[in-house]
Homo-oligomer: A and B are copies of this chain.
Amino acid sequence: MLGDFTYSNPTRLYFGQNALDNLRRELEPRGKTVLLVYGGGSIKRNGIYDQVVDIVSACGKQIVEDPGVMPNPTTDKLTQGCRLARESGADLILAVGGGSVCDYAKAVSVSAWCGENPWEKYFLRKEPVDNRILPVGCVLTMVGTGSEMNGGAVISNPETKRKIGRFFEDDAFPRFSILNPVFTYTVPKYQMVAGIYDIMSHILEQYFSGTDDNTSDYVMEGLLRSLIHSSQVALREPENYEARSNIMWIATWALNSLLSKGKATDWMVHMLGQSVGAHTDATHGMTLSAVTLPYYRFLLPYGLEKFKRFAVNVWQVSPHGKSDRAIALEGLARMEEYMHRLGLVMDLQTLGVTEDMLKSIAEGTFRRSGGYHPPEKAEILAILKESMHGR
């Protein structure tokens, strides 16, 4: 806990089986026009769309629909959503979906009244937001990104093959988020485990950095142990409320800015995964799982103490009579077993990456400097090559 920081999080969370009952009280004090943002239509099949529309209509609001948000929301979609938000005079953006839908809603929220090209101003140049921000509310139906309680948004530009995340200030956080674990029951297994791994990666990106004694590291060990336990229950019993609710809660706290306070963070797994995503449109969580172990084996000598602590405190590796390196490697081996049990994609080939794409993916990987050893360009390429085929 060595760095100075400011912590504040204005999002109000409604959590539980009856959480949607609170939508009415959040809508009532707001203006008349609600921009309803959602994805490919699964919310129409599982009935969540009807539940939400009934409440919004009963509040006397006018609904303007913005469907079709894709898993990796694009600059073109953003442009279209901004136009719709302006022309409809939207007073509130209501996102019903997973992280991509929430991310997109926040991107529209800060961009609709931008006046310039928001991709260039807010994602490439990362300028502060100086225009009107439309309030956002979320009804979460998929778990992983933590987008429901932060100011983050990730947007992809398919032309330039760049996928860029940006964390906006407090004003762009969702004003409220509605988290009903039951809404996540119908998420297909592939998406569920990808979301679970996204959560785990968020925690690990913050854990594997810093050499000080920081309370956050202890909290993260607790969150990881809870996630490892609950994810395996959810895999066996997708409708286990206790497991699904724990996973949902961990996801929120993994990336709502608490854990990173006062400590360094790495984020290289996300930088690698995002570049893979920009080149393949693969599911975000799987782009992370495919590159994780090659990256962490590369990183291990530089952060040996932390990898050892990870093995003992998270994976219950017995340290007795073993070298630090052996303990650390045993931790990663247990993590690898767990990842296989979950059914995660552990190689880039399966995600559609071919050898001839690797150089461009490496080029598109932003280098972050917070970790134990920020990789050079050549090292990034080596990690990606190592990630091609799994083990």
Contacts and interface: CB of A to CB of B under 8 A. Distances in A.
Contacts of A250: 215
Interface residues of A, number: 48
Interface in A265-307: none
Contacts of A258: 253
Contacts of A18: 4
A12 B7 contact: yes
Contacts of A213: 226, 229-230, 233, 242-243, 246
Given A218-B223, A220-B222, A229-B213, A7 B15 contact: yes
A241 interface: yes
Interface string A252-269: 010000100110000000
A23 to B, nearest CB: 13
A258 B212 CA distance: 25
A10 B9 CA distance: 7
Interface in A12-29: 12-19, 22
Contacts of A226: 213, 215, 217-219
A273 B261 CA distance: 33
A359 interface: no
Contact of A17 (B4, B212, B222): B4
A240 to B, nearest CB: 10
A90 to B, nearest CB: 24
A246 B215 contact: yes
A218 B247 CA distance: 13
B16 A5 contact: yes
A250 B52 CA distance: 38
Given A215-B246, A218-B223, A13 B7 contact: yes
Interface string A179-219: 00100000000000000000000000000000011110111
Contacts of A9: 9
A343 to B, nearest CB: 22
A229 B245 CA distance: 31
Contacts of A262: 15-16, 245, 249
A215 B223 contact: yes
Given A219-B222, A222-B221, A230-B213, A246 B1 contact: yes
A22 B1 contact: no
A111 interface: no
Given A1-B242, A245-B1, A250-B215, A11 B13 contact: no
4 closest A-B pairs by CB: A4-B16, A222-B222, A218-B222, A8-B12
Interface of A: 1-19, 22, 181, 212-215, 217-223, 225-226, 229-230, 233, 241-243, 245-246, 249-250, 253, 258, 261-262
22 contacts: A1-B242, A1-B246, A2-B241, A2-B245, A4-B14, A4-B18, A6-B22, A15-B262, A16-B262, A213-B226, A213-B229, A215-B222, A215-B246, A215-B249, A215-B250, A217-B226, A219-B219, A219-B222, A219-B223, A222-B222, A245-B262, A249-B261
Given A213-B229, A215-B230, 12 more contacts: A1-B245, A4-B14, A4-B18, A5-B15, A6-B14, A213-B230, A215-B246, A218-B222, A220-B222, A222-B223, A249-B261, A249-B262
